[in-house]
Structure 1
Amino acid sequence: MEMNTRLQVEHPITEMITGTDLVEWQIKVASGEPLPMTQEQIRKTGHAFEARIYAEDPAGGFLPGAGPLNYLSTPEPSSTTRVETGVRQGDEVSIHYDPMIAKLVVWGENRPSALQLLIEQLRNYQIAGLQTNINFLIDLASHGHFQAADVHTGFIDQHMATLFPVKTVSNEKIAQLALAYVLNENASTRKSLNRLNPFDLELNFRPNYTPTRKFQLKVGEKEHQVEVKSKGVDFEVRVDGGAWLNVKATRKPHENRFLLQTNINGHVSCFNTVIESGSIALYDDTGLTSAEVVQPKFVTADSAMEGANAGSVIAPMPGVLDKVFVKPGDSVKAGTPLAVLIAMKMEHVLKAAMDGVVKAVPNAEGSNVQKGAVLIAFESN
């Protein structure tokens, strides 16, 4: 029989339903004191859930992630909600350690009420700067079979199609993402205006002219062409050449985020919004919706990477490029090991997806690389 004398990671569940403090008990026992209660005195009340908040990509095989916590807003702790964490806003989840950010623990009088509180508090857990599993946890806790307690170790595999559906983002939500970006840009420009300079014109002011902005947003894996016309709080937004949407939108700053309110055909929506370096994050009752502003190719083009095709090796997660087995000019066959990436103390051997010739190796051995970085660029044979 194995004897494990440490507290388990799920010990807050026991504490929530028994009203005990197991850490305090452990310290007392280590000091030679007796246990505060006997087994017969312990009473269980209600139901509790614990959700682990991780920096990971659930849709990508739950590969671990890393990066900065540019924005972090947690649920308010109470007698029914606990947040156990060791990070704060501005910290960074490292590639060298377990990517767990926090444990969210909730209590209810019964399982349904505890589960509903878990979903509500997951929606209140907002992080920007790196990918997390929060949206997945919301979908998991909202799943009909999970709510019916029909849960087993093969649950995720069995319900893969419903837990990881092909989600389409509506044109209305894309318009809201676009307006968050435009309003933030307008506010930044207006802030820089010199009110004492007569040549500093009010933003977008033109007599008898409605300015139009055009840019691309990447939502998920799809890029969308967006056009925005503005006049005060009234906007017209068109996505991918479709119908124009009439939208009223306002922005209210609040600490390091802002509140976005939109009115589309009488439907009013409010979002917590965070924008960092072209990344847009909208938080509402459905969780997080994010997008990236696509930079023009002349801004992002890297001559060494031009011509790199789908066979190029991309970092599947942040990590350290430990070994590179090829150099520019080498011919390789599909399946040939090319490099070793170390992340979260695990080695990942990256192999060629096709026959080809190595065109470039942009990163040296020992380099820290971000998810999506091109590690080996190829030319096909």
Structure 2
Amino acid sequence: MPWNTVRKTLNYYIFQISGLDTNVNFLIDLASHPSFQAGDVHTGFIDTHLDSLFPPIQISDETITQAIAAIVTNERYVAIALSIRQGCRGSPFAACDGFRLNSYLERTLSIESNGQKYNIHIRYVGSNYEIKIDDNDWKPFSINSVKDSYPNRFTLKLHLDGKESIFSTVIKDNYIDIFNQNGRNEFSLVLPKFFTECSTDGSTDGETDKSSDKVVSPMPGIFDKILVEVGEWVEVGQPVAVIIAMKMEYVLKAPKNGTIKSVSKKLGNSVIKGEIIVAFECDEQKPKI
């Protein structure tokens, strides 16, 4: 089998596994190694080529921009879905991504990968964008969908520096997986300080109050999903609800074991910081049926 076919197979049919650590990136590097392709393979192959098979991890500006493209695309999908759910189909807040009269929207965010933090500036310019990574120069880029997308999972074409690249992405909470020609790259969106300092029981020190009998919204947003039912017994840390804030989904979790007593809000309603979403009775042991 031609090696470029092996690489394509790894890229597009095998390697798109999210949420688990795999050795697919290594297999892609192995299949791309000139000595491996030349058939110069022996039992000491990995030891001989250790440095080239396991080089220091360096993330390109292209891959970082792909992660940002995934984030802004997901935000647009979430905004459109939310407007439809609220009966505001065609809302300009969803349809006009980043639109501002007589000015350009500019925002900042931070992402992390392999222990490295990247400070990102994004400028919305019509239907396209500009990006500034750390202290580098501004670069224009554009995004197009390649095929039908699913919530939090899609394939995109990025135009950057006069080149096109096609990649797939999976977004879960504030985690972003990018699958491109080099394998899988994992990113996390750095949450704002005011969010991380407020837990889902209403405390503000970042620590969950284990004696709490409620789950509250840590920030203003939209009550999007309820993951439990009244009367259901849940364990500490179990996801119970999802809110949408800043066009991202945030999962609220139970602070301790207990039985769901009530759900205080209706799906689609706005919630304020500290508002009770779910209340429950604290039962350390699961009731016997």
Name which of 144, 148, 153 aligns with 2:34: 144
How big is the shift at 1:137? Answer: 0.6
Q: Which runs of 5+ in 2 are unaligned?
A: 200-204, 208-289
How big is the shift at 1:162? Answer: 0.7
Aligned to 1:206: 100
* Aligned-partner Cα distance in 1 for 2:89–2:179: 38
Indicate how the Cα distance of structure 1 residues 290 and 304 shifts in structure 2: closer, same or farther if over 3 A, else same. Answer: closer
What is the one-letter code of the residue matched to 1:275? I
Aligned to 2:163: 267
The answer to whether residue 175 in structure 2 is matched with residue 279 in structure 1 is: yes
SS for the counterpart of 2:30 is helix
CA offsets 1:211-252 (integer angstroms, 9 cap, x no match): 122111112221100011113421011000210011121345
Aligned to 2:249: none
* Aligned-partner Cα distance in 2 for 1:198–1:139: 46
Greater CA deviation, 252-261 or 178-187?
252-261
CA offsets 1:123-142 (integer angstroms, 9 cap, x no match): 12211112211010111122
Aligned to 1:130: 20
TM-score (norm 1): 0.46
Indicate how the Cα distance of structure 1 residues 200 and 117 shifts in structure 2: closer, same or farther if over 3 A, else same. Answer: closer
CA offsets 1:128-175 (integer angstroms, 9 cap, x no match): 112211010111122222223333333223322111111322223212
Aligned to 1:254: 149
* Aligned-partner Cα distance in 2 for 1:198–1:159: 56
* Aligned-partner Cα distance in 2 for 1:295–1:179: 18
8 Å CA contact 1:233, 1:250 repeated in 2: no
| Matches for 1:165-244 after TM superposition, within 5 Å | 165-193=55-83, 194=86, 196=88, 201-202=93-94, 203-244=97-138
Greater CA deviation, 282-291 or 271-280?
282-291
* Aligned-partner Cα distance in 2 for 1:131–1:245: 32
* Aligned-partner Cα distance in 2 for 1:185–1:142: 35
What is the one-letter code of the residue matched to 1:119? R
CA offsets 1:259-314 (integer angstroms, 9 cap, x no match): 21221233122212221112222223222233111223443359699xxxxxxxxx
Aligned to 2:44: 154
| Matches for 1:286-305 after TM superposition, within 5 Å | 286-300=182-196
Greater CA deviation, 286-295 or 199-208?
199-208
How big is the shift at 1:117? Answer: 3.3
Could you list the runs of 4 or more consecutive aligned residues of structure 1 that deviate by over 4 angstroms after TM superposition? Answer: 194-200, 301-305
8 Å CA contact 2:99, 2:124 repeated in 1: no
CA offsets 1:188-228 (integer angstroms, 9 cap, x no match): 01221246499974453431121122111112221100011
Indicate how the Cα distance of structure 1 residues 231 and 187 shifts in structure 2: closer, same or farther if over 3 A, else same. Answer: farther
SS for the counterpart of 2:17 is strand
Indicate how the Cα distance of structure 1 residues 159 and 300 shifts in structure 2: closer, same or farther if over 3 A, else same. Answer: farther
What is the one-letter code of the residue matched to 1:187? Y
Q: Which runs of 5+ in 1 are unaligned?
A: 1-107, 306-381
8 Å CA contact 2:80, 2:89 repeated in 1: no
SS for the counterpart of 2:154 is strand
Greater CA deviation, 223-232 or 196-205?
196-205
* Aligned-partner Cα distance in 1 for 2:22–2:122: 30
* Aligned-partner Cα distance in 2 for 1:198–1:184: 17
* Aligned-partner Cα distance in 2 for 1:216–1:119: 31
* Aligned-partner Cα distance in 1 for 2:126–2:41: 52
Percent sequence identity over aligned pairs: 33
The answer to whether residue 6 in structure 2 is matched with residue 118 in structure 1 is: yes
* Aligned-partner Cα distance in 1 for 2:163–2:172: 27
SS for the counterpart of 1:127 is coil
* Aligned-partner Cα distance in 2 for 1:304–1:265: 41
TM-score (norm 2): 0.59
* Aligned-partner Cα distance in 1 for 2:5–2:178: 21
Aligned to 1:54: none
